[in-house]
């Protein structure tokens, strides 16, 4: 079982089945199906998982810088500039990473044939 196909497809925001069709119709809105192979994208539901993982990863990456910046002996202007830079960098990383992780979740759900739980 190789995860390389769904992962590389997600990095390029492509369908994990054919590696050619686009996953998104608009930014962060999935297509109904792949335009090349016809894979139905409505069978997978990523919900808020990608946002949770991206947010948590960025929290781990940016929080040490925020703590060091808060205890550093800098002028108020320098601290405010540092915080503004940190917020801008975090926003940029969210903007870049969220579609990739959302496509990854979709491709992995299709790869593993994950579906809704059906209770009897």
Question: What are the pLDDT digits (tens) for 6-42?
Answer: 999 999 999 999 999 999 999 889 999 999 999 999 8
Length of the chain: 120
How far is the C-alpha of 63 from the C-alpha of 89, rounded, in Å?
12
Residue keyed to tokens 């910046």: 69
Selection from 4, 8, 16, 7 nearest residue 113 by Cα: 16
Please state the domain count of the chain: 1
The pLDDT value recorded for residue 14 is 95
Q: Do the domain assignments include residue 84? A: yes
Range of the domain at 64: 4-111
Q: Is residue 79 part of a domain?
A: yes
Question: Would 52 be classed as within a structural domain?
Answer: yes
| Residue 35 tokens, joined | 């335009």
> In which band, very low, low, confident or very high, does the pLDDT at 120 lie, cut at 50, 70 and 90?
confident
């Amino acid at each position: 079982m190789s995860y390389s196909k769904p992962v590389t497809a997600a990095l390029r925001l492509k369908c994990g089945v054919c590696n050619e069709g686009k996953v998104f119709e608009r930014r962060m809105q999935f297509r109904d199906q792949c335009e090349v192979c016809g894979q139905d994208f409505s069978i997978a539901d990523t919900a808020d998982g990608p946002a949770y993982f991206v947010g948590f990863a960025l929290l781990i990456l940016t929080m040490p810088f925020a703590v060091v910046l808060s205890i550093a002996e800098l002028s108020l202007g320098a601290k405010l500039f540092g915080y503004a830079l940190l917020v801008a960098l975090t926003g940029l990383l969210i903007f870049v990473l969220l579609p990739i992780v959302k496509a990854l979740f979709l491709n992995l759900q299709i790869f593993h044939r994950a579906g809704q739980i059906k209770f009897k």
